[in-house]
Structure 1
């Protein structure tokens, strides 16, 4: 990456950060939505849901669900990203950027970095509240770094996919709905209950969709639960999603809007 591209990316990143602070509603939802979900599942439903895990997970239900909510927080950031990209495309600012000597990659990269920073805040909030509710990770520094690396890789890959979705939508309203599958996929995984407890068809989908390996890997790294082949499958999914999202986003941006 050239110095020109880096400078343009940082300049546009400052612009996006100011927009995030000026219009914080989507960001607040991305940051505090998972925290509210954690409080609901642990404080209201935790006793009932945790009864089914008795004896199978030493950390109790908070120890089981916290890694799942962390991954849900990572997924939730995609909605704000898609909307922000679509707003830029539909309001004409990108057309103005195209007439200026600005790196084309920097326009998209600034959105990606802004989303990653927001998601880091969201996941940190979830971890802090989880600890306050009784979550006690057994991870050492190496395991924490591995978990952080996987969360960062998943964040970057999902963000590029969200950027591509935002570029493909005609209105911000459509862009807010486009990533809904990403947001809800952790619910049809092992975030809130083991995949083995689900009906046959649902169980097979839950086991092979992208989020379950990531959830199981984070859960294993933080709580000492077995990770197994998930430690390979989760990063592989990140690479596939990132490659697909980046290719789609760049192609859509080069093609521009048809109207």
Structure 2
């Protein structure tokens, strides 16, 4: 039998146990709610991103503007979900669209935001691509030295990860930059390196771009017969023998 004092103490113990158990249950409940919210946000972001990419692929300026709206929605939701990979990917897409629309400074803003995220998650392939694309933007803006810095960073990273296809693209872009600066022989050195790589990996369309660029350089140098040879190689599909100099896109190409 319990006396009144014992009954009182027993009641207090039960009450205390109930109180102590409640925060734990609440914490578990809050954790599940947060996790569910993040999952839902990430799923919704992926849906908005898909809709944005589909709009972009329509190709018109109007569709690209609509794509920006969808991708901005996706960006907010990826950030809310803490999805840094999705956030970085969306930022690079926004940079690409603004570049297509001719808004170079706006494109730079988005690419620049994506770079630290790509580095943080260790996505070196997309980091190298973004560096190349920033180089293209600076080249278009007439800041050739700045462009060359980004191209060289991209080139080093692509070589480190063994991405020969994109390495060839950046080599072509550096060649184009030197050509624009009037350093034609330097341009030919980089075009030759690019062409050799494109040939090695079987990138026929890329070869045609670089051959055309080399033809343009020879034409600028007054070597019209040489230029014609390179243009004819494009038409015939037969490639010239490449001799890479011992020292060391028709437009630039994104990669």
Q: Identify the structure with bigger relative contact order (alpha carbons < 8 Å, sequence gap 6+).
A: 1
Scaled by the length of structure 2, the TM-score of the pair is: 0.25
